[in-house]
Chain A
């Protein structure tokens, strides 16, 4: 290997409370090399990425070790050293592009700011370089793009603009912190292809931070697997994917590869929910156009689509929450009023909702016993000892220890909180649970456990699930039938097997093939089959 452009030795980062976030990590990055950092949340991957800029986030302190960029040591080093390196030699690309741009300034100005600040280019040079980047990243209308404001471009375009902004000083190293995680699968592909092209074209080295092994496999040369601030294993992308040495890595690789169904396909029971020609309006905007669906007892119907497809709106409409809707809904043979205020207590009990973010779905000031005990109290009149037993039974049902009853949600991990949310829904003994992206905010292995829990509960109790998600891997494993939505309309509907079996049609096919697979050549293969459409897209 040639001389590394980034050399981190024995990195120690300490949190404000004295906890060690990373313990003695070594990183070497050769010029032009892409190194993937992968791990679940809390693994310390972002901490390492920021340490490459000599920065500790939110009171975290780099308490030991050295960081050298090319021949220059920045940790330990002076503030001046670090400031000259940041943005100029090492640049950072964050997960949320929307939060990284100043909404009140035109994009073009923000994209050349770093170059002017560091004085590496004159204004005409910086503008010329910016316009080149805009073309390389295939942003629309290259002539007028710099004049736009952040809110005037789409999420994928903004993410590309942020990459261009990071490239402003022609840095040696890009630190990419989950750059495609917030994007839809179809948009993710675009950004991934362009990013890879850019890195290869200019020979920029990169640290690619993500929790998604399949994504990082497409772009990186080497991969470091991290857990709890320690290195689990590292190797070439090929080796990690095909011959993982450690058990943890094997589980990560297997998780995305899993295609076996969690639940046996069932013949649906009697119809429990039907929706006919549902229209939902937000002011003058129509969010749903004539959506119809049916759901049988004990059946799982998945609703998939990218953001803005109206899938969450549909879930909320069935729960009785939207501002205004038209159409007919029936639940177990009876008319289902559009607004939840008009529904009977019993009807409210039989339809339960589980949300994407367990953090905000649980009242931080109520104990777990209060949270899951309340439906028992309200619907079934349980008191005192019977109530406590009911809570204990529910905790056991979702696989949580009984002593969690006295805790507050703040003392639980993300996966545990989501189990509490499931327990609260179960407490009402519902017929239908609407699961709105329930696994999206969880780490892959934790999400897998929650899915298994949901599958088991369905087997035991004959629950019907309406499963809203953008994760097609999940759909394939849990749903009996799938409904594909795009721009507020149903594009396709049918048994999951049929939907996922080639030949795929139009938009559904685009969605399915966009899900990254655990193969190094997946992206190349996809580009070949999609033809030149992506490479030459204007």
Chain B
């Protein structure tokens, strides 16, 4: 891995700050997320540096609570989508034949419906509880991960060292773990970072539409929605959660850029 660049350090610092929010957010919050202690859209005052939201709750505390919810949901969804997508994609590439055909066509079918529409349908039908939300996003996202890992594994699987392993009589597990995974790790890591951003925005979007995280729990997308009318009066309230989302997205992208830059030599360049 290359030495972090200046922008990478900025990204890493941002990620570190968000990690703290994810782990310790509610403990850092001076007030509870449901406590109504001020006037709606109240201005900042001592002890309440960001002012109050539409119900008169402390904005800073809700941001800190909401971070755990928003980041936690996205992280869980992305981890599950990778846990499902990578093994499926690798198996499809190694086994080929009908196994690959059925899985790939199934994925094509799911992918041809816009993700937002699919998610809306499922969440309307099953109700928007946290497990349903996480699983829905994870499974929809795993189609993208499947596509990527399948094509990466096909590329590596066609190389001669993978052929040697097959001719040696190695099983699928060895092929995946020892021959393929180490050689496709960097694009997958990069994809993980990007996918996390997309998922984060997607959760925020769902919450904005009222199908994501349900009140009274705070989450950043929902907070933008709840406070949106304040924009009309020239107040900052909805901009704080929006900025929280934007800064995390920028931070992740800075780190991903750095990870991609070191490994972008085309395959077979040294032949």
Residues on A facing B (Cβ under 8 Å): 319-321, 340, 345, 348-349, 353, 355, 357, 359-366, 374-375, 378, 424, 428
Contact assessment for B168 and A362 in the assembled complex, using a CB-CB cutoff below 8 Å = no
CA distance A363 to B270 in the complex (A): 14
Contact assessment for B170 and A378 in the assembled complex, using a CB-CB cutoff below 8 Å = yes
Residues on B facing A (Cβ under 8 Å): 159-164, 166-170, 178-179, 182-183, 268, 270-271
Contact assessment for B161 and A348 in the assembled complex, using a CB-CB cutoff below 8 Å = no
A357-B164 CB under 8 A given contacts A345-B169, A378-B169: no
Residues from chain B with a CB closer than 8 A to the CB of A345 are 169
Please tell me which one of the listed residues A319, A349, A360, A375 contacts residue B161 in the complex, with CB atoms under 8 A apart.
Answer: A360
Residues from chain B with a CB closer than 8 A to the CB of A340 are 166-167
Contact assessment for A361 and B167 in the assembled complex, using a CB-CB cutoff below 8 Å = no
Most chain A Cβ neighbours within 10 Å, of B159, B169, B178, B182: B169
Q: At the interface, is chain B mostly helix, strand, loop or mixed? A: helix
Residues from chain B with a CB closer than 8 A to the CB of A362 are 161
Residues from chain B with a CB closer than 8 A to the CB of A374 are 168
Contact assessment for A359 and B270 in the assembled complex, using a CB-CB cutoff below 8 Å = yes
CA distance A126 to B41 in the complex (A): 78
Residues from chain A with a CB closer than 8 A to the CB of B271 are 357, 359-360
CA distance A413 to B163 in the complex (A): 22
Contact assessment for B179 and A348 in the assembled complex, using a CB-CB cutoff below 8 Å = no
CA distance A353 to B163 in the complex (A): 10
Please tell me which one of the listed residues A348, A355, A366, A375 contacts residue B160 in the complex, with CB atoms under 8 A apart.
Answer: A355
Residues from chain A with a CB closer than 8 A to the CB of B166 are 340
CA distance A366 to B179 in the complex (A): 8
Contact assessment for A348 and B183 in the assembled complex, using a CB-CB cutoff below 8 Å = no
Query: Nearest CB to that of B170 among chain A residues?
Result: A378
Please tell me which one of the listed residues B161, B167, B169, B268 contacts residue A363 in the complex, with CB atoms under 8 A apart.
Answer: B161
CA distance A319 to B161 in the complex (A): 14
Residues from chain A with a CB closer than 8 A to the CB of B168 are 348-349, 374-375, 378, 428
CA distance A428 to B167 in the complex (A): 12
Query: What's the minimum C-beta distance from B155 to chain A, rounded to whole angstroms?
Result: 11
A320-B160 CB under 8 A given contacts A357-B271, A359-B270, A360-B271: no
8 interchain residue pairs of minimum CB distance: A365-B182, A361-B160, A363-B161, A348-B169, A345-B169, A360-B160, A360-B159, A355-B160
A364-B160 CB under 8 A given contacts A340-B166, A345-B169, A348-B169: no
Residues from chain A with a CB closer than 8 A to the CB of B268 are 359-360
Contact assessment for A348 and B167 in the assembled complex, using a CB-CB cutoff below 8 Å = yes
Query: What's the minimum C-beta distance from A75 to chain B, rounded to whole angstroms?
Result: 27
Query: Nearest CB to that of A425 among chain B residues?
Result: B164
Contact assessment for A357 and B160 in the assembled complex, using a CB-CB cutoff below 8 Å = yes
For this complex, 13 residue pairs linking A to B, each with C-beta atoms less than 8 Å apart, are: A340-B166, A348-B169, A355-B160, A359-B271, A360-B161, A360-B271, A361-B160, A363-B182, A365-B182, A366-B182, A378-B170, A424-B164, A428-B168
CA distance A355 to B270 in the complex (A): 17
Residues from chain A with a CB closer than 8 A to the CB of B170 are 378
CA distance A228 to B84 in the complex (A): 51
Please tell me which one of the listed residues A361, A364, A365 contacts residue B164 in the complex, with CB atoms under 8 A apart.
Answer: A361
CA distance A503 to B179 in the complex (A): 50
Residues from chain B with a CB closer than 8 A to the CB of A378 are 168-170
Contact assessment for A320 and B167 in the assembled complex, using a CB-CB cutoff below 8 Å = yes
Contact assessment for B169 and A321 in the assembled complex, using a CB-CB cutoff below 8 Å = no
CA distance A362 to B159 in the complex (A): 9
Residues from chain B with a CB closer than 8 A to the CB of A365 are 182-183
Residues from chain B with a CB closer than 8 A to the CB of A357 are 160, 271
CA distance A408 to B32 in the complex (A): 55
Residues from chain A with a CB closer than 8 A to the CB of B270 are 359
CA distance A353 to B170 in the complex (A): 15
CA distance A362 to B169 in the complex (A): 17
Most chain B Cβ neighbours within 10 Å, of A320, A321, A374: A374
Besides A348-B169, A360-B268, A360-B271, 12 other CB < 8 A contacts?
A: A320-B167, A340-B167, A345-B169, A349-B169, A353-B164, A357-B271, A360-B160, A361-B161, A363-B162, A363-B178, A365-B182, A378-B169
CA distance A424 to B168 in the complex (A): 11
Query: What's the minimum C-beta distance from B167 to chain A, rounded to whole angstroms?
Result: 6
Residues from chain B with a CB closer than 8 A to the CB of A363 are 161-162, 178-179, 182-183
Residues from chain B with a CB closer than 8 A to the CB of A320 are 167
CA distance A307 to B159 in the complex (A): 20
Contact assessment for B183 and A364 in the assembled complex, using a CB-CB cutoff below 8 Å = yes
